[in-house]
Structure 1
Amino acid sequence: MEKYTETQRRILEVGKKEFLAKGFRDASLRGIVKDAGFTQGAFYGYYSDKAALFDALVSEAADSLTDQFKAAQEAHYDLIPEDKAAESRDLSKDYLNHFINYIYDNFDAFKLVICCSEGTRYAGYIHDLVEIEVVQTENYHARLRQLGKLKGTVSHELHHMITSAYFTAVFETVAHDMTREQAIDYVNELATFFNCGWDGLLRLE
């Protein structure tokens, strides 16, 4: 069974084009319906409003990345009992490369989320990922500190600012329409730069 009807595919296609051109807030539902060649009644047979259409275009990819990100955070805890916490930077880099490829496999969805989502529940997407990262990493650091494997400290405020800068920089790949190859090179250089700073602050043993 096909996932979408021909009518639904046409609405999604035109909706994506409208959102990419104008952003969610300025996109016109009337214009989307008109360009799709259907009545508003046909539209409402599939989506309750403009926000529901935007969700249909981005939610699967964006929510899946969030779930994968949470799972990656948990994977770091597996390093502790194996006395491999020093490998956490390499693990983070491996996941980063996985994530950037996933983003590029779903580029249009993430372009909508990063550049066109003001007014939707995805407007704070990067901030939400930052919050997850900070909470999980601080808990991870606390565990390492209890075991005597982490000597340095960093304030919550600085941790949040550094993480926010890092995540914003990663998603610049999408904002600036880098090619996949450019993006992979860029984020790996970025990770090296930020990891050197973290190593200097935290002094993992």
Structure 2
Amino acid sequence: MTTRLACANITSVMEDERRKQTEQKLIKSGKEEFLKKGYAKANLRDICKNAGVTTGAFYFSFENKEALLSAILAPVITDYEKMCSTFARREEEDPNTADDNERQMMEYLSEHRTEAIILMEKSAGSRYEKFRPQISQQMQAAFTSYFTKFMGSTPDAELIRILVTMRLQGYMELIKGDYTVEERVRLAREIGIHADAGTTALIKYLKEQKEVYRR
């Protein structure tokens, strides 16, 4: 009886390991397919073929194509949101942590650049297609709050939208570009310095224009 139980346990462990290996093969193949074609045009048969598994094995591991996409993106989104929350608290308590926060975020995005590109540019047709607009809205709210604080009045909403679009596009260029992690971190820091200086100059200009209109 003991021998049978031991054999059953070994078989169960081996089956779990095979299942995990199959899932990892499908996740790897799915990343390549989604990155190349986008979620909407990604072909499930091609994903299975490139992973070296049958469609039956796919459905044993994932309910559908979107479930596979979720397995790829959900962990990254969770990490990203936690990092954003942590960094926001850190910077509020100590603004000098901004550079270190920027470095950590860029290192993480560099490590998960495929997932980031899929999420931001290749997820149309899935539950994640609104993620980029949501990030944009959050950034616009943060920019508006910052400008309002230092201008003493609410900035033009269209100006803020354009500034956020430019900032997002800049970071996507870093993620998509053929750079080393060190190069991305350096460029991100330099972009940040330029953005900070530009923001300060813009706020000064807008305040001056506001005073002109008052006269």
What TM-score, normalized to structure 2? Answer: 0.73
Secondary structure of the residue that 1:11 maps to in structure 2? helix
- In 1, distance between residues paired with 2:168 and 2:69? 23
- In 2, distance between residues paired with 1:20 and 1:175? 11
CA contact (8 A) 1:77 1:140 kept: no
Specify the structure having the higher radius of gyration (Cα). Answer: 2
Secondary structure of the residue that 1:117 maps to in structure 2? coil
Gaps of 5+ in 2: 1-12, 205-215
Tell me what 1:156 maps to. 157
Tell me what 1:185 maps to. 186
CA displacement at 1:74 relative to structure 2? 4.1
Tell me what 2:118 maps to. 112
CA displacement at 1:122 relative to structure 2? 3.1
Q: Percent identity?
A: 22
Tell me what 1:165 maps to. 166
Amino acid at match of 1:184: V
Asked if 1:62 corresponds to 2:68, the answer is no
- In 1, distance between residues paired with 2:132 and 2:191? 17
- Out of 32, 50, 58, the residue aligned to residue 17 of structure 1 is 32
- Which stretch of the first structure deviates more once superposed, 132-141 or 57-66? 132-141
- In 1, distance between residues paired with 2:124 and 2:131? 10
Q: How many residues align?
A: 188
Residues 106-145 of structure 1, C-alpha deviations (whole Å, 9 max, x = no match)? 2232232234323223334333222222224434565xx4
Secondary structure of the residue that 1:126 maps to in structure 2? helix
* Larger RCO, structure (CA 8 Å, separation 6 or more): 1
CA displacement at 1:184 relative to structure 2? 1.6
CA displacement at 1:100 relative to structure 2? 0.4
Amino acid at match of 1:172: E
- In 2, distance between residues paired with 1:151 and 1:171? 29
Cα-Cα RMSD: 2.7
CA displacement at 1:91 relative to structure 2? 4.2
CA contact (8 A) 2:23 2:61 kept: yes
CA contact (8 A) 1:114 1:175 kept: no
CA displacement at 1:30 relative to structure 2? 1.7
- In 1, distance between residues paired with 2:196 and 2:152? 14
CA contact (8 A) 1:10 1:36 kept: yes
Secondary structure of the residue that 1:45 maps to in structure 2? helix
Secondary structure of the residue that 1:200 maps to in structure 2? helix
Residues 48-101 of structure 1, C-alpha deviations (whole Å, 9 max, x = no match)? 11111112112211332133223333444436xxxxxxxx4x544432222101
CA contact (8 A) 1:33 1:39 kept: yes
Amino acid at match of 2:110: Y
Tell me what 2:208 maps to. none
Amino acid at match of 2:194: F
- In 2, distance between residues paired with 1:118 and 1:159? 25
Gaps of 5+ in 1: 80-87
Tell me what 2:140 maps to. 134
Tell me what 1:97 maps to. 103
